[in-house]
Amino acid sequence: MGYSQFGAMIPELIILGIFLVVFVADVFSRDGSAKKFLTPMTTVLFGLGTIAIWLLPSCEVSVFGGMYVNDTASMAIKAILNIGVFIVLLQSAHWVESDEVAIRKGEFYELLLVTLFGMYLMISARHFLLFVIGLEAASLPLAALVAFNKKHYESDEAAIKYILTAVFSSAILLMGLSFVYAFSGGSLYYSDIYTNIASGQMSGLLIVAMAFMIAGIGFKLSLVPFHLWTADVYQGAPTAITSYLSVISKGATAFAFFIIFVQAFGQIYPDCWEWMLYAVIIATITVGNLFAIRQKNLKRFMAFSSISQAGYIMLGAMTSSTIGLGSMMYYIFVYIVSNLGAFAVITSIENKTGKVGMDDYDGLHKTNPWLSFAMTLAMFSLAGIPPFAGFFSKFLIFTSATSTGSMPLYILVLIALINTIISLYYYLLVVKAIWINPGEAKVEAFKSNTGERAALWICVAGIVLFGLVPYIYEYCYNAALIPGLGQ
Amino acid sequence: MDLNMLWYLVPSVIMFVAGVYGFVTRKNMIALLISLELMLNSADLNFVIFNRFLYPGSMEGMVFTLFAIAIAAAETAIAIAIIVNIYRKLHSTEIDEVDKMKY
């Protein structure tokens, strides 16, 4: 084999190229004023990279003996995540110029790009070795990013909670993987595991292995019994990182989860992990919603909202079919714009005033009508109110979950529907604080920065248009037509 | 006495359970890291055992273990850096003191 195989990993090479350019520019411009160009340069480069990934012809490539596969679905989810990261870069453009962070902003971009690189590997991996490397490359730099506000104690507390739970979950995942290895016939390729784990021979060890795998990946996805780190980390981390954690990291892990459990463990789906996933989804949606109701800090509130949204995303994995994967990718796409829209508002208000409490938003519409409008749209979309994209993504994911027509799945969707109504209550609490709560506005009128405004415009356009333009769902569905999935 | 696979798997399971127990009960962050290391190493041990006894013809488990050891080292390095950061602010490495954010 030659080095030519690396040429097939085009999305990874693009990210790596941007990383190297940023790294070299950062290292060779020690002078404080010379770093002014770093933020616009990274943003523009990444924007170009995003466009390049969207325009790439999606052909199926498989290199390194099939360890790395870039099929249409992987390309599509990478392109989707790239847009999310681009929005995160835009909305953090002002924060990285603040006095405390400006000197280290090069590191911020480098770590961000490395985590994205890890997620790409995780998405494209068809061998568990590459998957574990990608998972760790995605989660270890994130710990450094969570601790990025070095002078704030909360950031450190969040980081230690994040790294300890991340390593704990990796250990559990590796343990489960070692049990899987015992069944796999000596190979850790997804396809070999698929053929070697026959549906007939069930054993206790295999069930334990599956439970460990779901627990290990569930930690990263913050599914409920494994969600306890989420709220603290989201609250303590810098807001740009919180938004990154809540959408990009979650979307990549959800996709990798789907691929692993369908392509490696699809044979034992009905006997083994269907009911596990079933129970975990019900717990995730319900607990996330119930705890979100009592939150007063908006970042914690978004943390619990993202836990329950992760439950909805995993609904797509219940059917393990093309329509499930397509709806899941569409849901992730819509979730990216809705959640990042909310976070763009939170970021710009926090940068200006330092306020993140929900009662700080009382009467916001009197001073900042545009921000209030954007926040309202984001909340409506997250709750799933019809004209906005969130409604269509929920509708499609419910449709995909019921497409097999089995009774337990109808009950699951019913529970999810009831939870949608509960979630409407707490999302509307924010809207109520903005538009209805009496009292003087606690946030003075201000003009948000260019980057934040650009991020908000993209998000608002996405929230309004994604549901109404059928092309987006068709794109996701066509991309999900990969071999090995049923209709 | 014939040493079969079970004799090797039992220590690995004991290590894993000890790691989980230590992670839950220990109060010092460094001790937590040691417990995590135990858990990771027991998984590595499992890979080597299964490779040696079940699939002696291939090397996949051994190679996986090498990568897992490297990853575990990276994890420890980052965790230690964060603990040093916390120690500078609190002058303590007790996990009970890191509880400003709750519920």
Option in A128, A159, A175 nearest B46 (CB): A175
The residue of chain B nearest to residue A230, with distances taken between CA atoms, is B103
B81, part of any domain: yes
| pLDDT of res. A486 | 66
Q: Using one digit for the tens of pLDDT, what is the confidence trace for A208-261?
A: 999 999 999 999 999 988 888 999 999 999 999 999 999 999 999 999 999 998
Dist CA B82 CA B94 (whole Å): 13
The residue of chain B nearest to residue A136, with distances taken between CA atoms, is B71
Task: Report chain B residues whose CB lies below 8 A from the CB of A170.
Answer: 40, 71, 75
Average pLDDT over residues B14-34: 94
Task: Report chain B residues whose CB lies below 8 A from the CB of A188.
Answer: 60, 64
A171 interfacial to chain B (CB closer than 8 Å): yes
A373, part of any domain: yes
Q: Using one digit for the tens of pLDDT, what is the confidence trace for A121-164?
A: 999 999 999 999 999 999 999 999 999 988 888 899 999 999 99
pTM: 0.94
- The token pair at A205 is 């060890």
Dist CA A378 CA A345 (whole Å): 10
Task: Report chain A residues whose CB lies below 8 A from the CB of B75.
Answer: 136, 140, 163, 166-167, 170
Contact A187 B74 (CB under 8 A): no
- The token pair at B81 is 């850096």
Dist CA A358 CA A307 (whole Å): 19
Give the angle A165-A301-A341 at the CA atoms, nearest 5°: 105
A211 interfacial to chain B (CB closer than 8 Å): no
| pLDDT of res. A395 | 93
Taking Cα atoms as reference points, which of A5, A136, A145 lies closest to residue A62? A5
A437 Rama sector, left if φ>0, alpha if ψ -120 to 50, beta otherwise: beta
Q: Which of A149, A167, A234, A356 to mutate to test the interface with B (most CBs of B within 10 A)?
A: A167
Contact A182 B85 (CB under 8 A): no
A277, part of any domain: yes
Contact A178 B71 (CB under 8 A): no
- The token pair at A329 is 């990718």
Dist CA A34 CA A37 (whole Å): 7
For chain A, report the end-to-end CA distance as a whole number of angstroms. Answer: 36
Helix, strand or coil, per DSSP, at residue A487: coil
Helix, strand or coil, per DSSP, at residue A464: helix
Q: Using one digit for the tens of pLDDT, what is the confidence trace for A5-32?
A: 887 888 999 999 999 999 998 888 766 5
**Which range of residues forms the domain containing residue B39?**
5-97
Dist CA A393 CA A379 (whole Å): 14
Residue A421 makes CB contacts below 8 A (sequence gap 6+) with none
| pLDDT of res. A199 | 55
Option in B44, B54, B75 nearest A140 (CB): B75
Option in B67, B71, B85 nearest A150 (CB): B85
A359, part of any domain: yes
Dist CA A345 CA A332 (whole Å): 20
| pLDDT of res. A467 | 83
Task: Report chain A residues whose CB lies below 8 A from the CB of B51.
Answer: 181, 186
Q: Is A149 exposed, middle or buried (0-12, 13-18, 19+ CB in 10 A)?
A: buried
| CB-facing half-sphere around the CA of A119: CA atoms within 13 A | 31
B102, part of any domain: no
For the domain that residue B41 is a member of, what is the CATH number?
A: 1.10.287.3510
Q: Look at B33 and A360; give whichever has higher pLDDT.
A: B33
Option in A158, A166, A188 nearest B60 (CB): A188
Q: Look at A321 and B10; give whichever has higher pLDDT.
A: B10
Dist CA A62 CA A171 (whole Å): 29
Average pLDDT over residues B59-86: 93
Task: Report chain B residues whose CB lies below 8 A from the CB of A164.
Answer: 23, 29, 32, 36, 79
The residue of chain B nearest to residue A186, with distances taken between CA atoms, is B55
| Element spanning A70, H or E | strand A68-70
| pLDDT of res. A34 | 54
B103, part of any domain: no
Contact A157 B82 (CB under 8 A): no
Mean pLDDT of chain A: 89
A66 interfacial to chain B (CB closer than 8 Å): no
Residue B85: how many other CB atoms lie within 10 Å: 17
**Which range of residues forms the domain containing residue A321?**
3-479
pLDDT per residue, tens digit, chain A (487 aa), is 567 788 788 899 999 999 999 999 888 876 655 578 888 899 999 999 999 988 887 678 888 888 999 888 999 999 999 999 999 999 998 888 888 888 888 899 999 999 999 999 999 999 999 999 999 999 999 999 999 988 888 899 999 999 999 999 999 999 999 999 988 888 899 988 888 886 556 688 888 999 999 999 999 999 988 888 999 999 999 999 999 999 999 999 999 999 998 888 888 877 778 888 999 999 999 999 999 998 888 999 999 999 999 999 999 888 878 899 999 999 999 999 999 999 999 999 988 888 888 888 888 888 888 999 999 999 999 998 888 999 999 999 999 999 888 888 999 999 999 999 999 999 999 999 888 888 777 778 888 888 889 999 999 999 999 888 888 888 888 888 887 776 5
Q: How many domains does chain B have?
A: 1
Contact A168 B29 (CB under 8 A): no
Instruction: Say which residue the tokens 């109110």 belong to.
Output: A385
- The token pair at A180 is 């899987």
Mean pLDDT of chain B: 90
Contact B27, B5 (CB under 8 A): no
pLDDT reading at B1 higher than 70? no
Task: Report chain A residues whose CB lies below 8 A from the CB of B86.
Answer: 156-157, 160
Task: Report chain A residues whose CB lies below 8 A from the CB of B39.
Answer: 168, 171-172, 175
Dist CA A473 CA A373 (whole Å): 26
Nearest CA of chain A to the CA of B86: how many Å?
6
Taking Cα atoms as reference points, which of B8, B78, B19, B52 lies closest to residue A168? B19
A172 interfacial to chain B (CB closer than 8 Å): yes
| pLDDT of res. A275 | 87
- The token pair at A407 is 């009774």
Q: Which of B26, B82, B86, B89 to mutate to test the interface with A (most CBs of A within 10 A)?
A: B82
- The alpha carbon dihedral of B72, B74, B75, B77 has a sign of positive
Q: How many domains does chain A have?
A: 1
Instruction: Say which residue the tokens 């836990």 belong to.
Output: A307
